[in-house]
A and B are shown apart, each in its own frame.
Chain A
Amino acid sequence: MQLRDFFSTDTVDLALKTETKDETLRALVRLFHLDEKSESILFKMLKRRETLGSTGIGRGIAIPHCRSLVVNRLRVAFGRHAAGLDFKAIDEKPVHYVFLIVAPPLEVSNQYLPVLGKIAQFSKEADVPDRLAGLESPKEFLQLLEEKGV
């Protein structure tokens, strides 16, 4: 299982124009093209998870995540925010890179936790923040995942 297999160019936004954490979560959820109610429920769940502790893991990276009945398969998205967002991250620094991961309660291959783990592993690589900053297209993002082989 490779991280690259879960992402597609249409769920990557390298120019987020949001001003808050909430707006960012909504913007990324919208990339999944769910109906309005499902988007709203998913947003609530992601927000709920954030109230239990920030998913900002430091070095400008956050990984909001949750399981919800409103999705029928594992979905992932990535967003980049040039100015940085207050995510109440562990290192208290602004977040520029947001990986969103959502999954249904029951998955045939149970990939949620392994994918979450791979994103965390990818995020910890020393050069990743700089590489993410330098991306010029969603395609390059996918190439970076492929290159890292996680």
Chain B
Amino acid sequence: MHEQLETLLEMQDLHMQRRALEEGDVREFESGVFDMSVEEALAALDDKISELEHRLTGDVQERYRRVIGRRHRAVVPVLGGVCYGCFVAVPTSWASEADPNDKMNVCQNCGRFHYYPP
């Protein structure tokens, strides 16, 4: 897997965790069942996301910032040949490569980074 994609995946998962914690149900569950201090957790997630963002190279970082600002999710899976960000079919040649995650693939329609789940 491309190193930058790996970093983006981690960031995406952290963003998701952050958004979930802002929702009522998850927030209540995490603080009620697991005794989590939600505000501290949100701050810790922000710090980690920021640290990872600095690991992105120029063009990837630029695209990431542009996409995350507009579309909330910068990395989306491709399932059944369809981008799960904009639901437009992606060129089949990408998915037929040995491991499409070895290079950085970007949706030609919505601009999000693509990830091909195993």
Residues of A near any B CB (own CB < 8 A) = 34-35, 37-38, 41, 44-45, 48-49, 51-55, 57, 63, 66-72, 90, 104-106, 113, 116-117, 120
B106 at the interface (CB under 8 A from A): no
Contact yes or no, B16 A38, CB < 8 A: no
Majority-rule SS of B interface residues = helix
Bound Cα distance from A77 to B34, whole angstroms: 19
- A70-B117, A72-B77, A113-B29 are known contacts. Are A53 and B41 too (CB-CB below 8 A)? yes
Contact yes or no, B117 A57, CB < 8 A: no
Q: Which of B14-35 contact A (CB under 8 A)?
A: 14, 16-17, 20, 25-26, 29-30, 33-35
Contact yes or no, B118 A70, CB < 8 A: yes
Number of interface residues of B (CB under 8 A): 33
- Chain A residues whose C-beta falls within 8 Å of the C-beta of B115 in the assembled complex: 69
Point out the residue from B25, B33, B75 that lies within 8 Å of A57, measured CB to CB.
B33
Bound Cα distance from A44 to B1, whole angstroms: 15
Most buried by A among B1, B13, B35: B13
Contact yes or no, A113 B13, CB < 8 A: no
Contact yes or no, B36 A53, CB < 8 A: yes
Point out the residue from B10, B25, B26, B37 that lies within 8 Å of A41, measured CB to CB.
B10
Expressed in whole angstroms, the minimum distance between the Cβ of B36 and any Cβ of chain A is 4
